[in-house]
Structure 1
Amino acid sequence: MDSEEIKKLILNEQEQLQKLHHIVEQTIKEEQLIVNNLQNPPKEILSRGQEISDKVARFGGSWKFIISFAVLLSIWIIVNAIIPEEYRFDPYPFILMNLVLSCIAALQAPIIMMSQNRQEEKDRMRSENDYLVNLKAEIEIRSLHQKIDLLLEDQIKTLFETQAKQFMLLEEINNRLNEHLTKNK
């Protein structure tokens, strides 16, 4: 190999490195938005009503609520069944208790629904984050494909150049051999 060919190989290698750097820079730019969104998710600002609805839903959907409410109702029924009739504040069939239960159910249902709506919004945000993570992985895979394609392209190019040089050398050897044979005749 002469110095021209060596310079050409070095130039090709530098072009290859520049292409790889360009792919890396492009990938970094594409990922920047995704990384910023994942590292700095928007802060959730709750109103006082939303905080209360979350607490009510959390307590209303717990065993603590169910057990304490069952105990309270049992005490209500026992007290109104045992104490003398003139002191009973809610005699059988416990109409006041039914009214209280209906009011609690009527108030608790929309409060729980508000909390569920907020939970649905949180789930939507989580799914958006999952989408961004998947998108980031897809960008990484695409970048790797580009790098591999670039390397393969360069290897094939080098292979063809090497084969061309080998053919030239074989042709030169063949010509010298033919010259040598014609001189010896």
Structure 2
Amino acid sequence: MHFLGINFDPYPFILLNLFLSCVAAIQAPIIMMSQNRQAERDRVDSENDYKTNMKSEMEIRILHQKIDQLNEVQWPHILDIQKMQIEVLSEIENEIQSLKSENEPKRDRNTRHPSRIKKPD
């Protein structure tokens, strides 16, 4: 480096090397502190994730227990209710069929003799 005719820090650049080494020595602890802070944040985040996962797992276990209880206890009762509903539906269907069969002869008689059909007044 040539400044005002004075040759400052000639070729091996010892002062420049010393300056850069000092800067690196100052930067290293600062970088390490920021990495430690980030590691602490990561640790806290992982603890929160763990707690959240444990809570979710407990909720899933509770849901599994409820489903198992439903399968064991309420399922037979639900099947009984379904059988009763099927019986009632079949009775209703039979009743509808019987009413249809009773009404068909009346319709046949009315269609054969148009004079028997009542006309509106």
Q: Same fold (TM over 0.5)?
A: yes
8 Å contact 1:85–1:91 — kept in the other structure? no
Give CA deviations for 1:41-71 in whole Å, capped at 9, x if unaligned: xxxxxxxxxxxxxxxxxxxxxxxxxxxxxxx
Task: Kindly state the Cα deviation for residue 136 of structure 1 after the two structures are TM-superposed.
Answer: 1.9
Aligned counterpart, 1:122: 41
What is the RMSD of the two structures over their aligned residues, measured on CA atoms?
2.3
Aligned to 1:106: 25
Q: What residue number does 1:141 align with?
A: 60
Aligned residues: 80
| C-alpha distance in structure 2 between counterparts of 1:93 and 1:140, whole Å | 69
Distance 2:55 2:15 in 1: 60
Q: Which structure ranks higher in relative contact order (CA pairs < 8 Å, sequence separation ≥ 6)?
A: 1
Which of the numbers 66, 89, 95 marks the counterpart of 2:14?
A: 95
* 1:93-138 Cα deviation digits (max 9, x unpaired): 2111011011111111111111111111011011111112211210
For 1:92, what is the secondary structure of its paired residue? coil
2:75 & 2:21 partners in 1: Cα distance?
79
Query: What 5-or-longer segments of structure 2 have no aligned partner?
Result: 81-121
Following the alignment from structure 2 to structure 1, what is the Cα–Cα distance between the partners of residues 74 and 46? 42
Q: 62, 66, 73: which is aligned to 1:154?
A: 73
Moved over 6 A (4+): none
State the TM-score, normalized to the length of structure 2.
0.56
- Structure 1 portions without partners, runs of 5+: 1-79, 163-185
Quick one: which amino acid aligns to residue 34 of structure 2? S
Give the Å deviation of 1:156.
5.0
Q: Percent identity?
A: 63
Give runs of aligned pairs for residues 165-184 of structure 1, distance below 5 A. none
Show the 5 A alignment for 1:12-91: 80=1, 83=2, 86-91=5-10
In structure 2, how many angstroms separate the alpha carbons of the residues matched to 1:135 and 1:125?
15
CA distance in 1, matches of 2:35, 2:72: 55
